[in-house]
Amino acid sequence: MIKTKIWVIVISLILTVSAALSVIIFTLPKKNVVAIYSDGELLREIDLSEVAEPYTFKVEHGDGFNEILVERGRIRVSFADCPDRCCVNYGWYYGGASPVVCIPHKLVIKAVNSQKDDFDVVTG
C-alpha cells in the first residue's frame, strides 16, 4: 500500500513538472528570422518578431529593383519592375517553408528558422 502511494506521488510530480515545462517552452517568444539574398549573396537578415515600425528598402539588381516592405511578423515584395511580378503577387511572407523568389532579379527571401512550418520539403 505504501509503495502504491509513493508511485502515485512520483508520477504526479513528473506530470506536474512536465506540464510546467511545456507552458514555459511554448510561451517563450520565438524568433522569426528571414534572410534576403540577391544573386546568391546574403544581403541582410531580419528578425520579423522584433520589427518596431514598418519600413521599406530597395534591392537593386542590374537595371532593375525590388522594393521590400517589412512589418512586425511579416515581409513582402511590394513592388518589382520585372515583367511577371510573381514576387509581388506572392503577398505577405510569414517565414514558412516556401520562399519568396524573383527569378529575373535573382532575389530570394526565405526563413532562417521557421517556427510556423517545420517541414523539410514542400510538395504540390
* DSSP notation for the chain: -HHHHHHHHHHHHHHHHHHHHHHHHHHSPPP-EEEEEETTEEEEEEEGGG--S-EEEEEEETTEEEEEEEETTEEEEEEE-SSS-HHHHT--B-S-SSPEEETTTTEEEEESS-SS---S----
Query: 27-31, 44-48, 120-124: which has the minimum mean pLDDT?
Result: 120-124
User: Which tens digits make up the pLDDT trace of 83-102?
Assistant: 888 999 999 998 888 899 99
For the stretch 31-75, pLDDT in tens is 789 999 999 999 999 999 889 999 999 999 888 899 999 999 999
47 and 25 co-located in one domain: no
* Closest listed residue to residue 57, CA positions, set 27, 36, 84: 36
Please indicate, yes or no, if residue 4 is contained in any of the structural domains. Answer: yes
Whether 42 and 91 map to the same domain: the answer is: yes
Counted domains in the chain: 2
User: 49 with 1, same domain?
Assistant: no
| 98 and 85 co-located in one domain | yes
Same domain for 95 and 39, yes or no, is: yes
Per residue in 64-99, is it b (16+ CB within 10 Å) or e — as a string?
bbbebebeeebbbbeebebeeeebbebeebbbeeeb
CATH number, domain at 101? Answer: 2.60.320.10
Parent domain of 104? 33-111
**What's the pTM?**
0.67
The model's confidence at residue 2, banded by pLDDT at 50, 70 and 90, is confident
Report the pLDDT value the prediction gives residue 117, as an integer from 0 to 100: 47
- Cα dihedral: 109, 115, 119, 123 (round 10): -50
